[in-house]
Amino acid sequence: MRSASLNQSLLKWYDRHARNLPWRVSPEDRKLGEIPDPYLIWLSEVMLQQTTVAAVKDYFEKFTNAWPSVEDLAAADEEDVMKAWAGLGYYSRARNLKKCADTVARDHGGRFPEAEDALLKLPGIGPYTAAAIATIAFDRHAAVVDGNVERVLTRLTQIETPLPEAKSQIKDVMATLTPHDRPGDFAQAVMDLGATICTPKRPACGLCPWMSDCKVQNSSLAEALPRKAPRKEKPTRYGAAFVAVDRESGAILLRRRPPKGLLGGMTEVPGTDWSEAFDVSGAQEHVPFPSEWRICAGVVKHTFTHFHLRLTVLRAYAPQDILRMVEGTWWSPPAALDEEALPTVMRKYCRQRSTKWRLHGFTAGRLVPPRRSCCHQDQQRRTRAGHSSCPEAA
């Protein structure tokens, strides 16, 4: 492999075509002496785990405006950090983000360590993130391998071993290719090549600076790489969410999830555990307080990394003394819901509290079979007449 020729041609391409990203120092500015901010590199790399650049940009701006330095983030209240993270997913990252900021501020004087082995000792930093920070922020020689890099290098060298088994081979190739001069720019160049040229579908081989050296260029094999081991089918879990509403203000009753585990420390409405064996007919055993609970039409669907989730939503007006009845809860007015630390799945069923809900009876701990509403009868008439279905059901 002609490593020197490959990295020279790629860096030349990167100098002309580098993506403009808010956490990145451009090649032009690097030549003028500007150096990357390790805090911004660390923050962006944590956010980008399992998340796209497009989804991260607004969150990155929100965080850096609120907490411009690692010391500022360390001084922040954890609840405010969780609220700012809400919607970005993989919430253990937010908890570890705060722990890491605390550690860097307390034990390292607000400065990130430069070496990979020292970075690996920080909360929430694994091998990839440690290599990325060391290389991009401090120009240390390290093999940085993300999804884009995996795709580029499996095609360049025709590695047909399926992932994740191929990861060690890919890392060895990246370590060989990465130059000691400008290793950070090289790592970002391979990422940019994968994001803009060597894309999963229809790679633009004719524009690639590595085309003449690529073993699968302009072949049908390109789109097949990297190969991946067959995925196991995800199980489906079920549960119920209890949306309690204040009759006068429309506020929703919220509580905080336990600090550890899935969605730990985030905000939610009261609900049941999620399991494959859950049956909605037993939901009455879990209601947070006695009331006329009504089942809402439709099911909230969400997918986590390891399972699908189907939630039945039940709604009721809450008595005035509810905060004394249900410990650890608070009212959140409709205008404040966007500021709550609600993960995406919780926001889905909080949004369902609109007047478009079609409600079925759920009274006195007993499910009442749903009655056919006027809307349903009107829908039947419209269907027989050849018209579209009821807009409320859409």
Which single residue is written with the structure tokens 């049956």? 279
CA distance 394 to 184: 50
**Choice among 45, 116, 268, 340 that is catalytic:** 45
CA distance 344 to 55: 13
- Helical segments of the chain, H only: 3-17, 27-31, 38-48, 53-66, 70-75, 78-85, 92-107, 116-119, 127-132, 138, 147-157, 167-177, 183-196, 221-224, 322-325, 344-351, 374-384
Q: CB under 8 Å, gap of 24 or more: what pairs does 26-30 form?
A: 27/185, 30/185
Is 248 labeled as catalytic in the residue annotation?
no
Distances from the Cα of 285 to the Cα of 73, 236, 290, angstroms: 42, 22, 10
| Contact in structure between 192 and 172 (CB atoms under 8 Å) | no
CA distance 225 to 114: 34
| Contact in structure between 79 and 96 (CB atoms under 8 Å) | no
Start-to-end Cα distance in the chain: 57
CA distance 343 to 92: 12
Residue (of 169, 122, 123) closest to 145 by Cα position: 169
Residue (of 78, 230, 214, 224) closest to 160 by Cα position: 224
CA distance 181 to 27: 13
Please provide the DSSP assignment of 250-292 as one string: --EEEEE--SSSTTTT-EE--B---BTT--GGGGGGG-SS-S-
List active site positions.
Answer: 45
